[in-house]
Amino acid sequence: MSLTHLGWNALWLYSLGISLLGVFGIYLGQKTRARSLQLLKQVEMEKKRADKLANFVIPIGLALSVQNELNTLLEKILMEAKTLSLADGGTLYLMTPEKTLRFVMVHNDSLKIAMGGTSGKEVTLAPLNLYDAAGSPNHANIATSCALDAKSIAIADVYSAKGFDFSGTKAFDQRMNYRTVSVLCVPLKNTDKTVIGVLQLINPQAPETKAIIPFDEHLCQMMDLLGLLAAAALSSYLKTKQLTDQIAELKIQIDEAKKERQVAEITDSDYFKSLQSRAREMRAKVKGQNS
Amino acid sequence: MAKIVSIHSFRGGTGKSNTTANLSCLVALAGKRVAVVDTDVQSPGIHMPFGLTEERVEFALNHFIWGECPIEKAAYDVSDALKGPGGPIYLVPSSMKISDIGRILKEGYDVRILNDGFQALIEKLDLDYLFIDTHPGVNEETLLSIAISDTLVLILRPDQQDFQGTAVTVELAKKLDVPQMLLVINKALPSMNFDTLREKAQKIYDVPVAAVLPLTTEMVQLASSGMISLAYPELEVSKELRKVAAQILAS
Bin B212: left if φ > 0, else alpha if -120 < ψ < 50, else beta: beta
Pick from B121, B117, B115, B118: which is nearest to B141 by CA? B115
The pLDDT-based confidence of B151 (bands split at 50, 70, 90) is very high
**CB B45 within 8 Å of CB B20:** no
Residue ranges, chain A, pLDDT below 50: none
Q: Report pLDDT for A56.
A: 67
Q: Report pLDDT for A289.
A: 60
Percent of chain B past pLDDT 90, that is, above it, reads 62
Q: Report pLDDT for A249.
A: 64
Q: Report pLDDT for A288.
A: 67
Identify which of A259, A272, A280 has the shortest CB distance to residue B177. A280
Contacts of A24 (CB under 8 A, 6+ apart): none
Q: Report pLDDT for A285.
A: 73
A155 bridge partner residues? A183
Q: Which residue has the higher pLDDT, A32 or B34?
A: B34
Contact B171 A259 (CB under 8 A): yes
Q: What is the CA radius of gyration of chain A?
A: 36
Give contacts of B160 with chain A, Cβ < 8 Å.
Answer: 253
Q: Report pLDDT for A116.
A: 87
Predicted confidence (pLDDT) at residue B188 exceeds the cutoff of 70: yes
As a three-state string, the secondary structure of A103-134 is EEEEEECCCCEEEECCCCCCCCCCCEECECCC
The span from the CA of B117 to the CA of A268, in Å, is 27
The pLDDT-based confidence of B66 (bands split at 50, 70, 90) is very high
- Helix or strand holding residue A225 (H, E): helix A217-248
Predicted confidence (pLDDT) at residue B207 exceeds the cutoff of 70: yes
Contact B171 A290 (CB under 8 A): no
Percent of chain B past pLDDT 70, that is, above it, reads 98
Identify which of B160, B192, B201 has the shortest CB distance to residue A247. B192
Residue A244 touches chain B, beta carbons under 8 Å: yes
Helices (H), B192-235: 194-205, 217-222, 228-231
Chain A: closest CA distance from residue B5 (Å): 15
Q: Which residue has the higher pLDDT, B78 or A19?
A: B78
Give the single-character DSSP code of A209. T
Contact B172 A266 (CB under 8 A): yes
The pLDDT-based confidence of B95 (bands split at 50, 70, 90) is very high
Pick from B151, B202, B156, B158: which is nearest to B173 by CA? B151
Average pLDDT over residues B98-126: 90
By DSSP bridging, strand A128-129 and strand A100-108 are: antiparallel
The pLDDT-based confidence of B91 (bands split at 50, 70, 90) is very high
Average pLDDT over residues B134-160: 92
Q: Report pLDDT for B21.
A: 95
The span from the CA of A129 to the CA of A126, in Å, is 9
Q: Report pLDDT for A53.
A: 67
Average pLDDT, chain B: 91
What number is the ipTM of this complex?
A: 0.81
The total of other beta-carbon atoms located within 10 Å of residue A192's CB is 6
The span from the CA of B108 to the CA of B102, in Å, is 10
Q: At CB < 8 Å, which residues of chain B contact A?
A: 1, 138, 140, 143-144, 147-148, 158, 160, 163-164, 167-168, 171-172, 175-177, 179, 189, 191-193, 196-197, 200-201, 204
Interface mutation target, options A241, A249, A252, A258, chain B, most CBs of B under 10 Å:
A252
Q: Which residue has the higher pLDDT, B93 or A72?
A: B93
Please give the single-letter amino acid code of residue B141: E
